[in-house]
Chains A and B, each alone.
Chain A
Amino acid sequence: MMAFADLLERLAFTPGRNAKLAHMTRYFQTAPDPDRGHALAALTGNLDAGRAKPALLREMVGQVVDPELFAMSYDYVGDLAETIALIWPTAEAPRDIPLATVVQALGDASRMQVPGLVAGWLDVLPPSGRLALLKLVTGGLRVGVSTRMALTALAAIGTVPRDEIEELWAGFTPPYTPLFAWLEGGARPELTIRAPFRPVMLSTPIDADGLAPLDAAEFTAEWKWDGIRVQAAAEGETRRLYSRTGEDISGSFPDIVDAMDFDGTLDGELIVRRGDRVAPFGDLQKRLGRKSPGKALLKSHPAALRLYDVLIWQGDDLRGLPFAARRGRLEQALRGLHPDRFDLSQTLDFADWAALAALRADPPDPVIEGVMLKRRDSAYVAGRPRGPWFKWKRDPMVVDAVLLYAQRGHGKRSGFYSDFTFGVWDGTGLVPVGKAYSGFTDEELRRLDRFVRTNTTDRFGPVRALAPELVVEVAFEGLNRSTRHKSGVAMRFPRIARIRWDKPAAEADRIDTLRALLP
């Protein structure tokens, strides 16, 4: 438990991705089986140890600490599990309890036995172990690690590539002892996984200059829809909908899963579609947030797949075929599928890049965010190879905004003010519309940094409020309505394209300009 607690502690405070990976890899290398397997399950959301409700914990701590002193402490600390971990009396000689022992015992315990077990562990563990235990039993681990990151860290303990692990991942179960044995030099396990996730093929960005030397005749073009890329896999009774990083999102999309009466693996864009009309991304977001959507939501926000590709069909692995051949198989496959849930991503007719540029400049639907290009002879390969697939995004929307707040960056940007909140005019005031921290040269970072230091008007913890002086050109990919933001709009992928040292703040854009761009 203590090694796992130490890992959680470092992950909670480490902002950098590489450092997070290093902490996880070190843990996987040093922790014993089956502890490390349970930890992997906890990090990837596959550990079901959430056995205690906050009310139960409060009751337990009420029996060992004066309630008034507890209330003052909780008020100061602000987090229940943390307060209890700190305030619980520490044993004369604290000792460690293996993570596996805890997981096993929780799994076997009846509801009535849980409080006694937890109190017994709290009595012997040191404080940091108590916090990890409490986070585990309340199911509130939250360390900001995706399955893909955890598997990347895991791959680093051996020589098996992450993609290969990802492909078999769904076939393993906690505590993953055969998986660790394989990664540490054992034989590749023979698994009979049904409907496994297949690593997705991704495209690289390109622009008109990059396309010029390429032969347009060698490529197929399709619209790039603003949804999320998914993989639908069905085999026997098993049906799974995966995100492009392999998270199983079937639970949120029962309407899609119900319609997956095929045997194969399809690649497509998940969208909300009403008849022929594709809804804006915001509609899909409503569905993504819901673990088990109700009937009303399923009806008002029906999900659909717009199919791009077929990987496996009725037992045949088609990934080695040229794209053009797979496309033919996809068109055939579609005939048997329910038209409300599945349709085909159209291919575009174009004679040369200029013709495609004209199409891209005037797409038939606002939910299109550009075009995708695929070499007709391209096999389906995992990852992001440069060459076979490109995305040529529609020019981003831009707006001139004023910097309002600055925060110091992490990692390579340590010490520099590099995270900015910006706003636009609303009446005579400025209303925040987004946050961005990318796209600066070193020289710009230094100049911005000087600007922040000399224009700070107030400080809130690590955040500095700025005099509204500096205009930046913000590029973004789209705009949604938002009730969480005071401005009523939320930007997608905003980034600072240019710093307008020359432009007076009064000439920045107004909120009406943004509202006019709402879908």
Chain B
Amino acid sequence: MTAPLETLLIPRPEGLYCPAGDFHIDPVRPVDRAVITHGHADHARVGHRAVLAAQQTLDIMAIRYGADFAQTTQAADTEQTVNGVRLSLHPAGHVLGSCQIAIEHDGLRAVVSGDYSRVANPVCAPFAPVPCDLFVTEATFALPVFRHPTPETEIARLLASVDAFPDRAHLIGAYALGKAQRVIMLLRQAGYDAPIYIHGALQRLCDYHLEQGVPLGDLRPATMDKAEARALQRAIVIAPPSAFASAWVQRFADPVIGMASGWMQIRARARQRGVELPLIISDHVDWPDLTRTIEEVDPAEFWITHGREDALMRWAELTQRRARPLHLVGYEDDPE
């Protein structure tokens, strides 16, 4: 079983490589031909010669790195052939444009899922399970303690805190691609229709979501002066977590600092961040969704790219599934 699979996919230091098609998927070092699952910086890197990805992922890379981030780019169709290998894209439910990459050759199919989530996300298409012989999964939240509550309950907690402390601005840390827009959409769906303030670092990606038809509503730049910031009532401000360590935050008087991340489920992680309002909102699969997905896809073998692989290996042992940790270096633990 192992040998034929490896004509389809092998782990290399620079990332997963498809020998039959001669391309890498989400390589962490510059390569000749790269196929990219989604626009997060640890998966979509700069410096490859040719890049194949969903149009939205290419757009996001251009926004982040400039239009010349690769020598040639090609927007993937739902299905195409690369050097005789059939390659198709399937929604991963992670961030705008995120896709799983399915490759088929000699009657075998491998699916590289990138990062993925099974919870409905208003900013992107839902994950579509693709039956396969080899499933490559992340393991960011692969411990049985990670069972994320529904994002709606977390947003309700945020709004309850806004009601309790209307004159303290609520500053919510959220990563610039995906999480920020998701939090905004969740607020809109919960009926919060006031302007939402965004940190400058989120502007271009929010604009892009609006262009792509994600109705984020009235967004305003959080560049008000001190007097204005302190006069705000029931204000919600979204910012990248790094902004809380910058001078920007000083314009707010006694703000409630929140953070939207799957890590917030662990108190020590929330404390470490100095967070007053931890919101457990994740764009990755939690433990039940991860194990359920493997059962649904039901591969002959699954590989683990990055995260907490030892618990998943133990689960594979208990459920008698073939699994292999790849220990790929270069994917961050934290780009939630």
In the complex, what residue of chain B is closest to A407 when comparing beta carbons?
B274
Q: Is the beta-carbon distance between A461 and B272 smaller than 8 angstroms? A: yes
Q: Is the beta-carbon distance between A86 and B145 smaller than 8 angstroms? A: yes
Q: Is the beta-carbon distance between A87 and B145 smaller than 8 angstroms? A: yes
Q: Is the beta-carbon distance between B268 and A408 smaller than 8 angstroms? A: no
Q: CA–CA, A91 to B164, complex, Å? A: 30
Contact with A along B247-268 (1 / 0, CB 8 A): 1011011111100000001111
At the interface, yes or no: B147 with Cβ under 8 Å from chain A? yes
In the complex, what residue of chain B is closest to A408 when comparing beta carbons?
B274
Q: Is the beta-carbon distance between A69 and B254 smaller than 8 angstroms? A: no
Q: CA–CA, A12 to B271, complex, Å? A: 9
A73 with B253, Cβ < 8 A, contacts A13-B276, A26-B164 known: no
- Give A199 Cβ to nearest chain B Cβ, in Å: 29
Q: Is the beta-carbon distance between A73 and B254 smaller than 8 angstroms? A: no
At the interface, yes or no: A483 with Cβ under 8 Å from chain B? no
Contact with B along A449-487 (1 / 0, CB 8 A): 100010000000110000000000000000000000000
Contact with B along A261-288 (1 / 0, CB 8 A): 0000000000000000000000000000
Q: Is the beta-carbon distance between A15 and B272 smaller than 8 angstroms? A: no
At the interface, yes or no: B119 with Cβ under 8 Å from chain A? no
Question: What chain A residues lie within 8 Å of B164 (beta carbons)?
Answer: 22-23, 26
At the interface, yes or no: B314 with Cβ under 8 Å from chain A? yes
At the interface, yes or no: B278 with Cβ under 8 Å from chain A? yes
Q: Is the beta-carbon distance between A78 and B247 smaller than 8 angstroms? A: no
Contact with A along B288-315 (1 / 0, CB 8 A): 0000000000000000000010110011
Q: CA–CA, A14 to B168, complex, Å? A: 13
At the interface, yes or no: B144 with Cβ under 8 Å from chain A? yes
Q: Is the beta-carbon distance between A69 and B315 smaller than 8 angstroms? A: yes
A76 with B143, Cβ < 8 A, contacts A449-B247, A462-B273 known: yes
In the complex, what residue of chain A is closest to B253 when comparing beta carbons?
A412
Question: What chain A residues lie within 8 Å of B256 (beta carbons)?
Answer: 19
Q: Is the beta-carbon distance between A416 and B272 smaller than 8 angstroms? A: no
Q: CA–CA, A416 to B245, complex, Å? A: 8
Contact with B along A68-92 (1 / 0, CB 8 A): 1110110011110011001100100
Q: Is the beta-carbon distance between B249 and A65 smaller than 8 angstroms? A: no
Question: What chain B residues lie within 8 Å of A73 (beta carbons)?
Answer: 143-145, 311
In the complex, what residue of chain B is closest to A413 when comparing beta carbons?
B254
Q: CA–CA, A86 to B268, complex, Å? A: 14
At the interface, yes or no: A363 with Cβ under 8 Å from chain B? no
Contact with B along A417-452 (1 / 0, CB 8 A): 000000000000000000000000000001001000
At the interface, yes or no: A494 with Cβ under 8 Å from chain B? no
A76 with B314, Cβ < 8 A, contacts A65-B144, A83-B145, A462-B273 known: no
At the interface, yes or no: B165 with Cβ under 8 Å from chain A? yes
Q: CA–CA, A232 to B153, complex, Å? A: 50
In the complex, what residue of chain A is closest to B146 when comparing beta carbons?
A86
Q: Is the beta-carbon distance between A13 and B278 smaller than 8 angstroms? A: yes
A77 with B311, Cβ < 8 A, contacts A13-B276, A414-B252 known: no
- Give A407 Cβ to nearest chain B Cβ, in Å: 8
Q: Is the beta-carbon distance between B252 and A76 smaller than 8 angstroms? A: no
Q: CA–CA, A22 to B270, complex, Å? A: 21
Q: Is the beta-carbon distance between B144 and A127 smaller than 8 angstroms? A: no
Q: Which of A26, A408, A414 is B254 in contact with, Cβ under 8 Å?
A: A414
Q: CA–CA, A78 to B143, complex, Å? A: 13
- Give B37 Cβ to nearest chain A Cβ, in Å: 26
At the interface, yes or no: B208 with Cβ under 8 Å from chain A? no
In the complex, what residue of chain A is closest to B315 when comparing beta carbons?
A69
A77 with B268, Cβ < 8 A, contacts A22-B164, A72-B143, A415-B250 known: yes
Question: What chain B residues lie within 8 Å of A127 (beta carbons)?
Answer: 147, 149
- Give B252 Cβ to nearest chain A Cβ, in Å: 7
Given contacts A408-B245, A453-B247, 9 further A-B contacts (CB under 8 A): A13-B270, A13-B275, A66-B314, A69-B144, A69-B315, A73-B311, A78-B268, A408-B274, A446-B250
Q: What 10 A-B pairs come out closest when comparing CB atoms?
A: A415-B249, A86-B145, A461-B272, A415-B250, A73-B145, A462-B274, A72-B311, A87-B144, A73-B143, A87-B145
B residues touching A (Cβ–Cβ < 8 Å)? 143-147, 149, 164-165, 168, 244-245, 247, 249-250, 252-257, 265-268, 270-278, 308, 310-311, 314-315, 318
Can you list 14 contacts pairing A with B, beta carbon distance less than 8 Å?
A19-B165, A19-B168, A26-B164, A69-B315, A76-B145, A79-B268, A82-B267, A86-B147, A87-B144, A408-B274, A410-B274, A414-B252, A414-B255, A446-B250
